[in-house]
Amino acid sequence: METQSLVLSLLYQLGTSAAFFFLAAVGLIIILGMMNIINLAHGELMMMGAYTATIATHAGVPFALTVPLAFLVVAAFGAVLERLIVRRFYGRQLGALVVTWGISLVMGQGTLLFFGPFMPSIKIPGGSFSYGDFSFSEYWLVLIAISVALIALLWWLYNRTTYGLQARAAMQDATMAKSLGVRTGRVYTLTFSLGAGLAGLSGALIAPTATIAPFMGQQFVAPAFITVVVGGAANVIAGAVGSATLLAAVKTPVGMAFGAFYGTVALLFAALVIIRIMPDGISARLQRWFDRRSRSGLL
Amino acid sequence: MTSVLSIQGAVAGYATGNVLHGVGVEVAEGEAVAVVGRNGVGKTTLMRTAIGQLPLRAGSIAFKGTDITAEPADRRARRGIGYVPQGRGIFPHLTVRENLLMGGFINEARRNPDFELVFGYFPFLRERLGQRGATLSGGQQAMLAIGRALINEPALLLLDEPSDGVQPSIIEEIGEILSDLNRTRGISVLLVEQNIGFMQRVAGRAYTLDKGRVTSELGPEEIADERLLAEHIAV
Ligand SMILES: Nc1ncnc2c1ncn2[C@@H]1O[C@H](COP(=O)(O)OP(=O)(O)OP(=O)(O)O)[C@@H](O)[C@H]1O
Ligand SMILES: [Mg+2]
């Protein structure tokens, strides 16, 4: 009973931690992996999702509906941003970096002006239950399930739909994709919009667990970037999943044994080591393994 | 004979200056035409201008009688132009199947990727469908690029040195296939090529290009003249 509840608790901590890494990073990963744009407005797009969900909840909308609403609102905002601003900076990574940074400043300051320094949070939906000595939050269990569902959905989108095929082709060789008939401009708008929408969705999901303030997005930026860099760009979804799981697997046991601070230290250290051993990220390593298997006819 | 591709007075190039100085090339329906010339005379620039990767600075391009000078590359491809670039342009991280599917947006009017048509010419691709493009050999990639351009039966194929870096026996096979595509399927071909034997097998006539200008037009008899050709191509 005791070891059983300890194992369950460890798995739970691992799951919540991996879900947090994945949710914080997913929008950033889509935009970086598919468009090679480092989106420094990522944290503010999450903030926008959190605000959308919080305001809608305070207005009486059920929380479960505010999450897809946040996705739609931030996705639409992302599409407009791409059309008006971001598309002028394709192929100039530094330019895109600066312009998205500028967007993040405007969004943060604009929110401060408009909504003030903070907003009453919404309470975490669902309750918690205990098993042995440990307690489990129902909401975080739902977040783990949503992360798994999102992974499956994104895998399907990028591997089984025309948009996904065109987006991956355009990422690898935009000129060739265009020369084969792909409307690459439209693909980029969709991709940026999707990445923004996912950031908004994550922001809404994390909102009940966070303090709602104009600069709340900043706290997600570091874990998001670490997840992305460790994951690598060869296959962004596999990379994000592998990286979120691995980082959580390092952080959780250390955190449980020595406290949250040492958990974070271990996380950063693990990220450094992984980047040293696999400079192209986890996904490149997975890909080489896949190539060997497919060449030898095992797959 | 109706014209499939008509390039007139094409001026195009890069930020460093013009490379083409008024090139004219015609391909009639069902015709296979070659462009030959030394390294660096502007053959690839001509092909990139034809598909729309480079804008025309002067001159015009028409496809099946429609002026497409101002159209971007994706629009031209959807009209039915299949492009096989120099270096083949295989998507390294897409599987063979996905690379072939990427040809499915060419020739919008048809919109029905015919895998069996491609396997008929390149049966080895069937066994490689799940493999990443980057894991194929040079010759296999050349065949994949042709299969991809072909899968929706375009009206015109633009081929930029498909034999480059391919072993001789495979070059011969590709030559047979292109010739068959042209003669039995009626697909028009514009082919840039340095390999004389390959070019002779596929093309019915040829333009010679030098320093961004067409210097001569060779008919069927002249194409057979190895010495004359060598003069135009040799470095
Ligand atoms: N992207 C580019 N930017 C600037 N100049 C270029 C570019 N690509 C080619 N050139 C120049 O344009 C000229 C024509 O090049 P192009 O590639 O069209 O020649 P080519 O006939 O296809 O040669 P090859 O037989 O080697 O393939 C060359 O002088 C080349 O250096
Ligand atoms: Mg060339």
Q: For residue range B67-90, what is the model confidence (pLDDT) as tens digits?
A: 999 999 999 999 999 999 999 999
Q: For residue range A282-297, what is the model confidence (pLDDT) as tens digits?
A: 777 777 777 777 666 5
Confidence of residue A142 (pLDDT cuts 50, 70, 90): very high
Q: For residue range B17-32, what is the model confidence (pLDDT) as tens digits?
A: 999 999 999 999 999 9
> What ipTM score was computed for the predicted complex, to two decimals?
0.95
Confidence of residue A299 (pLDDT cuts 50, 70, 90): very low
Q: What is the mean pLDDT of residues A46-56?
A: 97
Instruction: Tell me whether residues A291 and B135 touch, CB distance under 8 A.
Output: yes
Question: Does any domain span residue A292?
Answer: no
The shortest C-alpha distance from A178 to chain B (Å) reads: 5
Whether the CB-CB separation of A53 and A122 falls below 8 Å is answered with yes
Q: What is the mean pLDDT of residues B201-218?
A: 94
Instruction: Tell me whether residues A173 and B78 touch, CB distance under 8 A.
Output: no
Q: What angle is formed at CA B182 by the lines to CA B121 and CA B50, rounded to 5 degrees?
A: 105
Whether the CB-CB separation of A202 and A188 falls below 8 Å is answered with no
Give the helix/strand (H/E) hosting B156: strand B156-160
Of the bound ligands, which one is closest to the alpha carbon of residue B209? 1
Position A83 scores a pLDDT of 96
- Residue nearest to ligand 1 atom 26, measured at CA: B39
In this structure, which topology does domain B3-233 adopt according to CATH? Rossmann fold (3.40.50)
Q: What is the mean pLDDT of residues A212-225?
A: 88
Question: Does any domain span residue A25?
Answer: yes
Structurally, chain A folds into a number of domains equal to 1
Among the partner-chain residues A166, A175, A184, the one whose CB lies closest to the CB of B53 is A175
- For chain B, the domains span 3-233
Cβ pairs bridging A and B (under 8 Å): 76
Q: Separation of B63 CA from ligand 1 center, angstroms?
A: 24
Q: Separation of B18 CA from ligand 2 center, angstroms?
A: 16
Instruction: Tell me whether residues A294 and B135 touch, CB distance under 8 A.
Output: yes
Whether the CB-CB separation of A74 and A197 falls below 8 Å is answered with yes
Query: β-strand B156-160 against B81-84: which pairing, if any?
Result: parallel
For chain A, the average pLDDT equals 89
Half-sphere CA count of A193, side-chain side, radius 13 A: 16
Q: At what angle do helices A184-206 and A138-160 cross, to 10 degrees?
A: 170
Q: What is the mean pLDDT of residues A27-43?
A: 90
- How far, CA to CA in Å, does A2 sit from each of A12, A71, A237? 15, 41, 36
Chain B's closest residue to A184, CA to CA, is B74
Q: What is the mean pLDDT of residues A173-195?
A: 97
Task: Output B71 or A13, whichever has higher pLDDT.
Answer: B71
Q: For residue range A108-137, what is the model confidence (pLDDT) as tens digits?
A: 999 999 999 989 999 999 888 888 778 888
Give the helix/strand (H/E) hosting B6: strand B3-14
Chain A interface includes B97 (CB < 8 A)? no
Among the partner-chain residues B51, B83, B101, the one whose CB lies closest to the CB of A165 is B101
Q: What is the mean pLDDT of residues A132-150?
A: 90
83-122 in A: which are within 8 Å (CB) of B? none
Position B234 scores a pLDDT of 66
Chain B interface includes A161 (CB < 8 A)? no
Position B122 scores a pLDDT of 97
Q: B54 CB less than 6 Å from ligand 1?
A: no
For chain B, the average pLDDT equals 94
**CA pair distance B176, A163, nearest whole angstrom:** 35
**CA pair distance A272, A282, nearest whole angstrom:** 13
Nearest Cα to A168, choosing from A237, A87, A226?
Answer: A237
Q: B14 CB less than 6 Å from ligand 1?
A: yes
Burial class, B140, CB count within 10 angstroms (exposed 0-12 / middle 13-18 / buried 19+) = buried
Question: Does any domain span residue A284?
Answer: no
| Amino acid at site A81 | L
Among the partner-chain residues A172, A182, A183, the one whose CB lies closest to the CB of B93 is A172
Q: For residue range A226-270, what is the model confidence (pLDDT) as tens digits?
A: 888 787 766 777 878 888 888 888 888 888 788 878 887 888 888
Whether the CB-CB separation of B46 and B23 falls below 8 Å is answered with yes
Q: B2 CB less than 6 Å from ligand 1?
A: no
pTM recorded for the entire structure: 0.90
Question: Does any domain span residue A43?
Answer: yes
Structural domain including A81 reads 2-217
